[in-house]
Amino acid sequence: MKKILVSIVLLVCMSLAFYGFVLAQEKAAKPKKEAVEASGTALWDHLKKVDYTTKWKMWPGKTALYKGTEPHGALLTTYVNATALKAIKGKKGKLPVGSIIAKENYMPDKKLAAITVMYKVKGYNPEAGDWFWAKYAPDGKIEAEGKVEMCIKCHSMKKDNDFVYTGSLI
Ligand code: HEC
């Protein structure tokens, strides 16, 4: 009798373990989330939806409201999504497709003035690192978006660093 009970318990445990394994496999096999469309509106909606200010990490080594330079603002807080974070930490030289850097630009009195974003989109603009550029007012109003010449021109100084200023990717 005891033997039978032990066998039943063992069987149940094994089936549970197997079920867990199957579930994990299914989860791993799920297709990746759809990429965010390269548009100012879609990108803003995405930023709000993922709640980047609480869910994303800041640029490694940077804290909130660090000192910035022209033209971005006196104080900056820069967030990166998980894709970008991994490549920055891994010193990958470049940020992979799907990377998003969202930088909040504050006035000296800590009032939010604008949010500037770089979003790497596959094949979007090969001459300039495939970055989609966007600038928003604090309420989300789009002030610039797309292959913004002004952004690209200045960030081209950092072409060897994938157009990124904040830290070395190498
Ligand atoms: C005149 C030069 C200049 C222009 C124009 C410019 N940037 Fe920047 N950007 C910088 C500098 C310098 C930094 C590093 C932060 C700092 O010190 O201000 C930076 C940082 C950034 C970052 C953080 C990632 C990084 O590259 O370090 C983003 C995102 C960004 N800029 C977006 C934009 C967007 C979008 C525009 C256009 C609307 C723009 N920038 C225009 C100079 C510029």
Q: What is the pLDDT of residues 33-72, one digit of tens each?
A: 678 999 999 999 999 999 999 999 999 999 999 999 889 9
Look at residue 26 and tell me whether its pLDDT is greater than 80: no
Query: Average pLDDT for residues 150-162, to the nearest whole number?
Result: 98
Q: What pLDDT was estimated at residue 34?
A: 72
Q: Verify whether ligand 1 is closer than 6 Å to residue 148 (CB atom).
A: yes
Can you say whether the dihedral through the CA atoms of 52, 54, 60, 65 is positive or negative?
A: positive
Contact 114, 136 (CB under 8 A): yes
Contact 50, 56 (CB under 8 A): yes
Measured in Å, residue 18 CA sits from the centre of ligand 1 at 50
Look at ligand 1, atom 22, and give the residue with the nearest C-alpha: 103
Percent of the residues in the chain that have a pLDDT greater than 70, as a whole number = 83
Q: What pLDDT was estimated at residue 7?
A: 72
- Cα–Cα distance measured from residue 92 to residue 87, given in angstroms and rounded to the nearest whole number: 5
Place of tokens 């292959």: 147
pLDDT band at 6 (very low <50, low <70, confident <90, very high): low
Q: Is 136 exposed, middle or buried (0-12, 13-18, 19+ CB in 10 A)?
A: buried
Q: Is 74 exposed, middle or buried (0-12, 13-18, 19+ CB in 10 A)?
A: middle
Q: Verify whether ligand 1 is closer than 6 Å to residue 47 (CB atom).
A: no
Q: What pLDDT was estimated at residue 166?
A: 97
Look at residue 103 and tell me whether its pLDDT is greater than 70: yes
Q: What pLDDT was estimated at residue 70?
A: 86
- Cα–Cα distance measured from residue 153 to residue 144, given in angstroms and rounded to the nearest whole number: 14
pLDDT band at 18 (very low <50, low <70, confident <90, very high): low
Look at residue 111 and tell me whether its pLDDT is greater than 80: yes
Mean per-residue pLDDT over the chain, rounded: 91
Measured in Å, residue 49 CA sits from the centre of ligand 1 at 24
CA dihedral 130, 135, 138, 143 (to 10 degrees): -140
pLDDT tens column, 73-84? 899 999 999 999
Look at residue 12 and tell me whether its pLDDT is greater than 70: no
A 10 A CB-CB count for 121 gives 17
pLDDT tens column, 115-126? 999 999 999 999
